[in-house]
Amino acid sequence: MKKAVVLLSILIVSVFVLISCSNESEPYILTRGDDGVYHLVIFDSEGIEQFSTDQPKEIKVDEADGALTVFTWNAGASAATRYTLFLNTSTRELSAPFTYVLGHSDKLVVIGSSDGITVRGIFDESEEIVIDTFSNELSKTVEPFVSAELSADGNRLTVTYLSGDDYTEVEETFDLSASGSESQNGSAEYSEAGEYWLVEAKEGKTNYTVSLYDKNGKVVVSYEDFLFAPPEVTETNDGGLALKRDFGSGEIFKAYQYYSFERDALSRVFYAVNCYRDEIICFYDSGSEKIVVRNAFDARELSLEFSPDGMTVRPAYLTAVKSAEFIDSDRISVTYCCGEDGADEKTVILDIASGLIIEQ
């Protein structure tokens, strides 16, 4: 009997140790909800959440590079709106989210823009090499670069890019060891800063760097993007931060992201945003062709979809919503496009408490 009790105790302790080790060693959790939305949570070495995002499109995971795990997801249809996030699963060091990633090694990442390439450390942005001179003229497009491959020693970079009006693919190799370790871009020629944010553009570039900080000065998020206009950072009505980035013409190409100091949380990226108040966001979802009202940080707290009668996308805006504003905490007045080619307009009230549409 004593032997059985001892064996049972050993078994219970073993299971407890196994579960504890499993929890401590879990670097991330990726799930997909019943609504099809992918939910990613990444933990630090203490098991504390250090990043989370909800994405309607698939979040892909690549664990092929040893301790380096790579997460990618598409916020749009182009490489410029494809996000890449790197995690060192041994140290739990997490990179900033990058866009337009052309290639990477275990230490370096290659980032494209409309007129050049930046090679920088995945986790260290203090040193970088910028390549903006090519043997052939780049095609006039926001995505002239097709791919990039680093040599095993990291001293050479082979780039495939589009050239000329006929978009001919050209392959060219650059010696990174001769480029030096400092940026060739020079100092920033555009700079705007607030208490918890910084926006800069490098000399002669339309590449903007934007960083958001928490109240302890820690970087919450940092982006470097080719943009049509400087990123805008504003304070929300609830004391948080709103980041707006413009990838093209039309509301559908304006990306919004929100940071809550109270939650110490960064929202996912939203497009075609209509209005925001007290963590509640209203936006037009081009995938479902519906107006979505949800909590920007956690859809489990609030998530509603509205389909007003006759709603039609107006091509000039690439969205069906012309304007929207909160009447109070429970009601949003929305003016949307309807009729042939979205030429007409109609205004309704979205009642958040009941989930109903109230005709004006």
Q: Tell me, what's the pLDDT at 205?
A: 53
pLDDT digits 0-9 by tens, 61-117: 998 777 899 999 887 666 667 889 999 988 898 888 888 899 998 889 999 888 888
- Spatial CB neighbours of 181, under 8 Å, sequence gap ≥ 6: 127, 129
> Which of 43-52, 169-178, 323-332: highest mean pLDDT?
323-332
Task: Output the CA torsion sign for 252, 255, 260, 263.
Answer: positive
Summarised one tens digit per residue, pLDDT across range 257-266 is: 999 999 988 9
Instruction: Identify the pLDDT of residue 188.
Output: 55
| 198-210 pLDDT tens trace | 888 765 556 788 8
Q: What is the pLDDT of residue 63?
A: 87
Nearest CA to 222 out of 99, 350, 88, 66 is that of 99
Give the Å distances, CA to CA, from 2 to 6, 7, 8, 164: 6, 9, 10, 83
Q: What percentage of the chain exceeds 70 in pLDDT? A: 84
User: 150 near 110, Cβ under 8 Å?
Assistant: yes
Average pLDDT, stretch 146-162? 87
Q: What is the pLDDT of residues 259-317, one digit of tens each?
A: 999 998 899 989 899 999 999 999 998 888 899 999 999 999 999 999 999 999 887 66
pTM: 0.51
Mean pLDDT to the nearest integer, 178-197: 60
